[in-house]
Structure 1
């Protein structure tokens, strides 16, 4: 692995009760986080290909850990998302380099496919900053019941010369979805939208 990883954390969120109603089976979201050294902290680097390769590593490693946290077969993953926070000595483009060109394909391999774009967010911040990881259905972006997100944070990351990278997956949509739109049962799965 080319990434210099300082820390890895995995979170599991289960909702069993919402507005006094039992959620059975529970809705579950998992997020895996890596805190890595930013090789370009404090300098301008035109060629960000090193971060792009790190993104591919993160997609595979974090995708695998998040699926393991749910304890399901990869094909049972319904939603996914990705996000990153760059420490103060980096730049927003460093997060973009990790998240966009190469993270998606290895993540899709870990979750049994996925035709829809992987929702993403990026920001700059320091230790303890909350990162919202957006979620969307992996095969059909228009499935409203799966428009969601999960918050992650580590009290000691990212430090100034680090990047915190997160991948999240679910085995369900939101609890008690009822805003209409395309349902999970109506997915065709050809274009990543419907």
Structure 2
């Protein structure tokens, strides 16, 4: 692996009740987070291909860790998302290089599918900054019950020359969804939208 990883953190969240009502099937989501060295911290670099390659490596690794933490097989995951938090000596384009050109393919390979775009976010911040990972159904973007997010923090990251990179997956949408839209059981999965 070309990424210089300082640490990996896996966070699992399980919602058992919502507004005092038991959730029939507990809603579980997991985020696998890597804290990596930013090879371009402190300088402008036109060619970001090393970060693109690192994103591809991390996509599969982090997706595997998130799925394992949920105790499911990859194809049983319902939603996904990705995010990156760049330390102060980096730029947002470093996060984009990690997340966009090649990270999605290995994530989809772990999950057995994923026709929809993987929701993503990127930002800059310091130690303990919050990272919001947007979530959406992996096979159909119009499934409103799965519009969600997961927030994670790493207390000692990112340092100025680091990037925090995360992949999140879920076993369901939000508890008790009731705002309409396409239902997960009605997905055709042909175009990533419906």
Query: C-alpha separation between the residues in 2 aligned to 1:111 and 1:153?
Result: 24
Query: C-alpha separation between the residues in 1 aligned to 2:49 and 2:24?
Result: 45
- 1:37 and 2:21 correspond: no
Partner-residue secondary structure (3-state), 1:56: helix
Unpaired stretches in structure 2, ≥5 consecutive residues: none
Residue correspondence of structure 1 range 1-194 to structure 2 within 5 A: 1-194=1-194
Query: C-alpha separation between the residues in 1 aligned to 2:42 and 2:75?
Result: 41
Cα deviation, 1:146-187, whole Å, max 9, x if unaligned, reads 000000001100000000000000010001100000001110
Query: C-alpha separation between the residues in 2 aligned to 1:145 and 1:69?
Result: 22
Query: C-alpha separation between the residues in 2 aligned to 1:151 and 1:189?
Result: 27
Given that 1:81 and 1:167 are in contact with CA atoms closer than 8 Å, whether structure 2 keeps it comes out as yes
Taking structure 1 as the reference length, the TM-score comes to 0.99
The number of residue pairs the alignment matches comes to: 194
Query: C-alpha separation between the residues in 2 aligned to 1:152 and 1:113?
Result: 25
Query: C-alpha separation between the residues in 2 aligned to 1:132 and 1:114?
Result: 21
Query: C-alpha separation between the residues in 2 aligned to 1:30 and 1:48?
Result: 29
Given that 1:77 and 1:112 are in contact with CA atoms closer than 8 Å, whether structure 2 keeps it comes out as no
Partner-residue secondary structure (3-state), 2:64: helix
Given that 1:130 and 1:153 are in contact with CA atoms closer than 8 Å, whether structure 2 keeps it comes out as yes
Cα deviation, 1:62-89, whole Å, max 9, x if unaligned, reads 0000000100011100000000000000
